[in-house]
Structure 1
């Protein structure tokens, strides 16, 4: 009997140690941002809504947690909040690795694969040709699925767009252009965008180029997107172009242009270079296909400056939360806005609201929040604009500061003391973003997960996304203002985990 008791105790102790080790190993695991269970992930690909399900494909290397030969990973969701990882969708083949791209629902069976077929359009990247420096190592190919994205068949006629001799020739984003009954491909071609058209997703004709002399050119143009938004009774076309490096706070970022598209040529009305997100960690951001009038964007929540070095295990990288896009006119300038999708409200748990709050020096919300996980949403609006900051902290002395600097008229995120920062020399810095709104009042929404914050200021006119790696949960919360600030409303919501 003693022998059995000892064995049972040993098994129980071993199980406890394994559980503790697993918790420690995954202490930076996001709780409501998609991450693969293990190994490397970067750009979101092929995002499409079909028959009640959101499909997220993504750049994936299943054999290590650093970048390697690219596959398309796959995850599905009913609400863009809780995701289920699926088997790998596309594997490298004789034509090369499977780089970024998009997916569409072929409702009219234009390609002949079947009505409502899911068709993926992606870049084949040939590493052999790349080594030979032919300048033709990237081309565009297609694959289709007739079973809701479970299995995929690559088109025998691949590639469908051959490379004319451009070394960076990738990331096709395809949409249907109803006025002319044709597909439009928006393709990143080194330092510009090239538009192609097709009646059937198989045969493509080059239409025009855009951007050689517009926008930011601090790095290679990548991962574009093109879509219309109705604003004040008028259709405005949005062209997103991700760029690496060259972002406003170093490294990877996304810029956008607003204008007109006639099925052949994009004409920009933008007078300045505009950025999707002024944080360091929203790259390769593109929208879901087939979502009707909603334009829903997600990005890769990392930066090529340190993506291979971030201290997570056994996975690397997450995606941003899904964001709904709109337009807002400020003075004579038009801007893209970005706010959390309403589906995120499903995570709301406990919380509290306060009205007409005066903050002088410091307001400690730690005890009132009663939140040990550090997962929360904070919404506040001000009666007057003045310097203020929101401070996240923990018992280890780590601090992450998100705030507004009135003299500079800038929002900022300071992660210099946020925890582990030594894996890359530029990680622990303060990032700044301009305030575009002209009204006196400020609206401010901050969403915090285990290892990230996302700021949506002035109803999404200014957006910032930053990741960070604290030694323990950021369970302390303060609002600070040396000069004093009056808050109209303050609403704090504890967020539940979406991990199952």
Structure 2
């Protein structure tokens, strides 16, 4: 009989737990993917997500559930909406039906309503279809009941999924809007409803820009440009797999106008460029790394902020990451806004900082010239925020060596002449579990006032880089040895200066 001793079992647990994040959400056990049903209600943020309650691999799709008072400390709750023999519970959204338009609650106790994709099994009368269904909660998300009239929207399609629902306040009329996808057609389809039950078709958007994979997990919301309420754009998020800018899974965004019926983008880059990808870098990408997917935003946040969370993984290798009986984490929540850069409106992302106010400075450097070479810093950085600002000057390249140890490191470098930021995880540690995991991510990052500003969040299995105040982001998983905590700074060529470097730990 081949069985583990207690000591061997403890060693195996330790080997997988070394990668469990300190400040990114993970389920205690089993599989996790797309964030679903992000909603705020009465002081609590609710994170629902795709979850297998029975094992660490994809399957038995149900809605897991976690809650937080601050988007930083999460408490796992019981499974919210479990699969059954007739349907798997695929991705969707949740809304607070404040005026009880659905009739699923009362005026005195309006419901939370989850709008999810029913993926019907072989034993269902709707076998093979994906259609949209409702579940509701009358106790602020603690327990859920499925609506007896499900599905509420059925296009007789096998690939119709991922509804994001919001309340649209129009000049002539107000109603619920559903943004969903016909995934293999690379189309976003929009519907409206007065009660969340009966839906009327509005319009279709796409295919457009990146179409190298199926479209999934859309979102649509309005944001002011540079905080000016008289100048707004609508942001349409469309996640894609495969076909992302760094390979495999990714999220793209379009900016434009929405009149309650049709989304019209300011521009698209589509004609003749889907096959060779020659203009991929002109598209709007949420993140330029390999591990930021299915990102969607919270509803009902009272101060008007728009906050998104993504799944920190990639379908290319998600089933094989070396984390044992738990698998996958969520990204840090990110506040998103719009700003103008050189006359162009672009998306800015800023992390909800897990080190403020709980963190404390553990190492700092002030302004100084950078000689050509590598300088190891006298501090460890495994779970930390690193704020660094460079003046590259005449140097050829510069950057940071992260999570360094014996024979391994993750390299964040900036090529000065090309204006390219690179994150290299090819020698980051345990990288051989899948052929596509070792990777080098690249993105153009222009200097601002001749300076490069980087904010880097290190956790036990991830690196999130926000460049130039969040105008560009790169998110990648890494699986270094537990002892690989060294941090170094480097330059190639003379003429660069470090303006400041601060390491904040917990």
State the 1:447 CA deviation: 0.7
Q: Assess, with a 3 A threshold, how the Cα gap between structure 1 residues 425 and 50 changes in structure 2: closer, same or farther.
A: same
Aligned pairs for 1:60-459 within 5 A: 60-93=51-84, 95-114=86-105, 115-128=109-122, 137-165=129-157, 167-179=158-170, 180-190=173-183, 191-212=186-207, 214-232=208-226, 233=228, 234-271=231-268, 272-292=282-302, 293-342=304-353, 344-362=355-373, 364=375, 366-367=377-378, 369=379, 371=380, 374-384=382-392, 386=395, 387-435=397-445, 439-459=449-469
Q: Distance in 2 between matches of 1:358 and 1:347?
A: 32
2:471 corresponds in structure 1 to 461
- Aligned-residue CA RMSD in angstroms? 2.1
Contact 2:192 2:200 in 1 (8 A): yes
**Pair 1:18–1:95, CA change in 2 (3 A):** closer
Report Cα offsets for 1:304-363 as digits up to 9, x if no partner: 000000111110100000111011212232111111124651341232333212222346
Deviates more, 1:260-269 or 1:472-481: 472-481
Conserved? CA contact 2:86–2:122, under 8 Å: no
In 2, the alpha carbon distance for the partners of 1:237 and 1:80 equals: 25
Contact 1:391/1:400 (8 A) holds in 2: yes
**Residue 128 of structure 1 aligns to a residue in which SS?**
coil
Task: Assess, with a 3 A threshold, how the Cα gap between structure 1 residues 135 and 479 changes in structure 2: closer, same or farther.
Answer: farther
Where 1:74 maps in the other structure, the secondary structure is: strand
Paired residues of 2:392 and 2:416 also in contact (CA < 8 A): no
Unaligned runs of 5+ in 1: 1-13
Q: Helix, strand or coil: the match of 1:327? A: strand
Q: Determine if contact 2:419/2:447 at 8 Å carries over to the other structure.
A: no
Q: Structure 2 length as normaliser, TM-score?
A: 0.89
Native 8 Å contact 1:378 1:445 kept in 2: yes
**Distance apart, 1:436 and its partner CA:** 5.1
| CA–CA separation in structure 1 for the residues paired with 2:131 and 2:366 | 57
Contact 1:298 1:321 (8 Å CA) reproduced: yes
Q: TM-score, normalised by structure 1?
A: 0.90
- In structure 2, relative to structure 1, the CA distance for the partners of 1:344 and 1:127 (3 Å cut) is farther
2: CA distance, partners of 1:384 / 1:358 = 10
Asked if the contact 2:90/2:118 (under 8 Å) is kept, the reply is yes
Would the aligned equivalents of 1:224 and 1:239 in 2 still touch at CA under 8 Å? yes
